[in-house]
Structure 1
């Protein structure tokens, strides 16, 4: 440290801060958010920390300074996180008879309140669904008031809630639904629904989840207005809202984990988790299932229209009895604040 220039000393202090924050982000997926709710936000930006550490590593390497060792070590520790953020190659196996296409999509009430300008948004969403033609379709923030008719699906599970403005979760299937249910989340407008689906001689359980939103986007826009507009009261509201959201997500995830632990069927879990793949709720819900993006996706797997960051908060998890043959996200399809995700899988009995 003594041999460093004044500028390099400042850089080293910054480097150390980033290393500490990165290490905290590594540990947080193993700690319940209710213990450190606001710190859990670090898991949302873990990829950013990895990139900054890589830049620091290169910075010190060019100068042949031993300070590069710490950044190098933290990058080695985080090597297992890379596939959750970015996939360098995809898997696209040939389609076969018996394959099943599954789509998950938060449609934001089919643009019922014209958040996105345009008269044909809901028709575009419907046309996209018809074009992909999934065998199983999980929709979050579904609206019956939007009047979108998905007649191609004979079987459906729909649970709605709310008074004047009703929204909910829907599972559409080309295969018979033999059982269904809803898991309400106390103190939240979000919910979890499930359907047991009979395909041939096999039965599978499909969960459609929508966990609590942390609602970061509006506050980013507020922060762009002016520094003076961010007073202590507003900062306190942001802190409380994010902390409350992470605690609610934990409670909701634990309800799902408890429910799925009693399921004897191969299962799929689809939906909007509103959290990253580096979080406690992701780790708990995924369990020993396969993340279909990790198995067959490519690139960042971005699923949320957030201009500052390639956020992946929508998932399809598949039982290990399913072979994941293809996965696709559609960031160019901007008819909701979320992007649809689609996977092609095949059931392979033991």
Structure 2
């Protein structure tokens, strides 16, 4: 430190603080949010920590300073986290007749209340689904009121709830549904639906989940404006709300984890988790399943329209008995606050 200029001493101080926060974020996926709900917020911005650590590494490297070792260690330890955030191009796998396509999409009630200025969004989404032609389609925030025609699917399971505004989850399938059900959560409007599908000689369990929202604005400028303008009391209320959402997500993830223990079929879990791939909730639900983005995705894999930040909060997990042949997200298809995600699978 003595040989550093005052600017570098200041930069190194920031570097040390960032290192501590990053390692703390590394540990948090293994700790239940019930114990550290506010600290769990760090998992949402772990990718940002990794990027800044990378910049610090380059900063010290160009000056040939040994301080680069700290950021280098942080990046080496976090290599598995980097793969969850950014995926380099995967080699294309040839399509086969045994392949089947799964799509998951939070459609935000098909824009029922005109959150977006575009007209006929329901029809646009329907056409997109027809073009992609998934064999299994999982929809979150589904609305019957929007009257989107998906009759191309002979088999479906839809579960709706709510008093004045009914919404829910839907599973549409080209394969027969031999069993179906729903999992409701205590003190929450969120839920999970599931269906057992008969595909040839195989039976596949499909879960369609929508976990508790943390209700953060998709525009970071709005968040900053709110932080600048609201009182300390309201800031504390916002942190309390986020903490409560993380606690609810933990309970919901544990309910799903226990439910799937009784399933002996190969399974797929789709949906809107409302949390990052660096969280306890993600780790709990994924278990020993494959994250289809990690297996065959490209780039950042963002699934939520969060301005300036590639947020990935929607997932498709597949059983290890399935080969993940491709994964796509569609950030240019802005007809909801989420983007559709799609994977091509094959039973081994």
TM normalised by structure 2 equals 0.98
Distance (Å, rounded) in 1 between the aligned partners of 2:90 and 2:164: 44
Give the aligned partner of residue 240 of structure 1.
240
**Equivalent residue pairs, number:** 348
Give the aligned partner of residue 188 of structure 2.
188
- Residue 102 of structure 1, CA deviation: 0.4
Is 2:302–2:310's contact at 8 Å kept on the other side of the alignment? Answer: yes
Q: Which string of whole-angstrom CA distances, capped at 9 and with x for unpartnered residues, describes residues 137-161 of structure 1?
A: 0000000000011011111111100
* Residue correspondence of structure 1 range 61-210 to structure 2 within 5 A: 61-210=61-210
- Cα separation, partners in 2 of 1:226 and 1:303, compared to 1, 3 Å: closer
Distance (Å, rounded) in 2 between the aligned partners of 1:34 and 1:111: 34
* 2:290 pairs with 1:290: yes
Distance (Å, rounded) in 2 between the aligned partners of 1:209 and 1:20: 34
Q: Aligned to 2:25, what secondary structure does the other structure show?
A: helix
Give the aligned partner of residue 252 of structure 1.
252
Q: Which string of whole-angstrom CA distances, capped at 9 and with x for unpartnered residues, describes residues 67-122 of structure 1?
A: 11111111110011111111111242121112100000000000000001021211
Distance (Å, rounded) in 2 between the aligned partners of 1:96 and 1:108: 33
Distance (Å, rounded) in 2 between the aligned partners of 1:200 and 1:296: 25
Distance (Å, rounded) in 1 between the aligned partners of 2:226 and 2:286: 40
- Residue 228 of structure 1, CA deviation: 5.3
TM normalised by structure 1 equals 0.97
* 2:60 pairs with 1:60: yes
Distance (Å, rounded) in 2 between the aligned partners of 1:91 and 1:276: 25
Deviates more, 1:17-26 or 1:62-71: 62-71
Q: 5+ unaligned residues in a row in structure 1: which ranges?
A: none
* 2:322 pairs with 1:309: no
Q: 5+ unaligned residues in a row in structure 2: which ranges?
A: none
Is 2:105–2:140's contact at 8 Å kept on the other side of the alignment? Answer: yes
Give the aligned partner of residue 2 of structure 1.
2
Distance (Å, rounded) in 1 between the aligned partners of 2:227 and 2:83: 37
Give the aligned partner of residue 27 of structure 2.
27
- Residue 221 of structure 1, CA deviation: 4.9
- Cα separation, partners in 2 of 1:301 and 1:227, compared to 1, 3 Å: closer
- Residue 227 of structure 1, CA deviation: 6.0
- Residue 261 of structure 1, CA deviation: 1.1
Distance (Å, rounded) in 2 between the aligned partners of 1:323 and 1:228: 48
Aligned structure 1 segments of 4 or more residues deviating by more than 3 angstroms: 218-228
Q: Which string of whole-angstrom CA distances, capped at 9 and with x for unpartnered residues, describes residues 274-309 of structure 1?
A: 111111011111111100111111000010000121
Deviates more, 1:315-324 or 1:53-62: 53-62
Q: Aligned to 1:194, what secondary structure does the other structure show?
A: strand
* 2:79 pairs with 1:48: no
Distance (Å, rounded) in 2 between the aligned partners of 1:19 and 1:280: 20
Distance (Å, rounded) in 2 between the aligned partners of 1:98 and 1:223: 46
